[in-house]
Amino acid sequence: MCPTIAPKPTPSAGGCSTGGAATAATRSASARAVPPRRRPPAAPSRFRSSTPYPGPPPARVRTPNLTTLSPLGASGQARSVRRARNAPYLPDRRLFSGRSDMRTLLIGCGDHGGGTLLPAACSAGISIHALVDSDRERAEHLAKLWLIPQVYASTEDVDADTFDGAIVALPVSAQADHVAWALQAGLHTFVEKPPAPDLDGLRTLLQHAGRAGVHCVVGMNFRLAEGVRRLRSALAAPQYGPISYARVEHIARKPVQSFSPDMSLEASLFAAQGIHAIDLAQVLLPAQRVTSGQMIAVNRGRLATLVAGDPAGGTRLEVHFGSCAAAFSHQVRVVTASGDLLELRNMSELLHLPNGGDEHVREYPGARVLWRTSPIGGGYDSAGYGPELAAFGDLVAGGPAESLASLASLLPVYEAFDELLQAEGLAWTA
């Protein structure tokens, strides 16, 4: 006998099959009846602890990256996050209570003030409470990025009684007036080099500083650059003795035009390059009398040399600086009383050529590498901006003034270049 085949179910008025509903109900019950398959426990591993997971570690207390908190909206936030990748790490300012307690005003938000000194000051633990710039839109943009509460278009709008210090980073022709304002307002002042466009301007600032009774520090970052710190640390070793000869070469590719209509190109060269070279040379070998100087003929930019010496003491100092090169070149050569030669090349490598009487010369008479910059080094600490601003904050808090440049310490630097200008029949002004 053939099996009986059940007829197909007829659809109901609602469009759903009664047989289909029964089948779905059966499948649903079947699904509930069969327990889900569970993954077997993993085998013990030497990389996995047998103790229960205690949960995430407590959040590390650190200062947030302020550039990621910009209230600029969606598009602005995206730009802010990309910028934050290269932003400096901001240390916990509680570690620098003496510096962070100083309410500081930044005057000048240009490439150097806003792009270098502002992040360097924050990395050094100095709190910037307000920005001053004639380009108010630029200052407000920086204030949003760094969460700075106040912005002013001019120092005339600033209530100086609400601040303790000022950082000045303006064009050369405008710096002296703003430094004088800060000193007269009783603010501890850090001014980027050069503090004044000429020798007379520096002497005027010295008078203001003497009457103000506050600290005034000039930003000479080469003094505290990592390469110079390494060189001076090596020279402190007793076997070398005092320096007998020092030569500083500082040649860059600018300026080739004057910084302002009132300044000569030679004065602009001093403001950009010469002040660094002469100051560093005098730090290494101070109290040398300038005996000669010359402007050397070049087709592009300017090139100058200064020679100073003490015939009675048997010491000599040479300085070369210019703006004729295709790229920046910096060399420091020092010969000590022992006959040892130390050379710092481009702030990245320190070499030592021992004297002929050194007991190790027979093993290897060539130069020894005392230090090389790290491939991942650099930044504000290596260039000296961070250390000098940190030292400024410490000075205001009662710390030492070691390695910092004051207005008075730059007076011999200005005087040396002034002697060169007079010898060449040149002037500070155009």
* Beta strand extents in 181-301 (DSSP E only): 188-192, 216-219, 243-251, 289-296
Report pLDDT for 61.
Answer: 39
Q: Please say whether the beta carbons of 88 and 119 come within 8 A.
A: yes
Residues 285 and 417 in one domain: yes
Q: pLDDT digits over 98-137, tens only?
A: 677 899 999 999 999 999 999 999 999 999 999 999 999 9
Comparing 192-206, 290-304, 366-380, the range with the smallest average pLDDT is: 366-380
Torsion sign across C-alpha atoms 43, 44, 49, 53: positive
**Residue 132 is part of which domain span?**
69-222
**Looking at the 3D structure of the chain, how many domains does it have?**
2
Residue 424: other Cβ atoms inside 10 A:
13
User: Do the domain assignments include residue 47?
Assistant: no
User: Do the domain assignments include residue 313?
Assistant: yes
Q: Please say whether the beta carbons of 416 and 410 come within 8 A.
A: no
Domain termination site, one of 222, 253, 284: 222
Report pLDDT for 360.
Answer: 81
Residues 155 and 276 in one domain: no
Q: How many CA atoms lie within 13 A of 233 on its CB side?
A: 10
Domain termination site, one of 222, 252, 275: 222
Model pTM above 0.75:
yes
Higher pLDDT, 374 or 153: 153
Residues 138 and 257 in one domain: no
Higher pLDDT, 261 or 16: 261
Mean pLDDT (the chain, rounded): 83
Q: Is the pLDDT of residue 17 over 50?
A: no
User: Do the domain assignments include residue 352?
Assistant: yes
Q: What is the mean pLDDT of residues 145-173?
A: 97
DSSP 282: H
* Beta strand extents in 57-173 (DSSP E only): 104-107, 128-132, 150-152, 165-168
Residues 184 and 227 in one domain: no
Residues 200 and 255 in one domain: no
Angle at 412 between CA 409 and CA 413, to 5 degrees: 90
CATH number at residue 136: 3.40.50.720
CATH number at residue 304: 3.30.360.10
Higher pLDDT, 59 or 362: 362
Report pLDDT for 376.
Answer: 75
* Calpha distance 265→253 (Å, rounded): 13
Domain termination site, one of 222, 253, 283: 222
Higher pLDDT, 315 or 89: 315
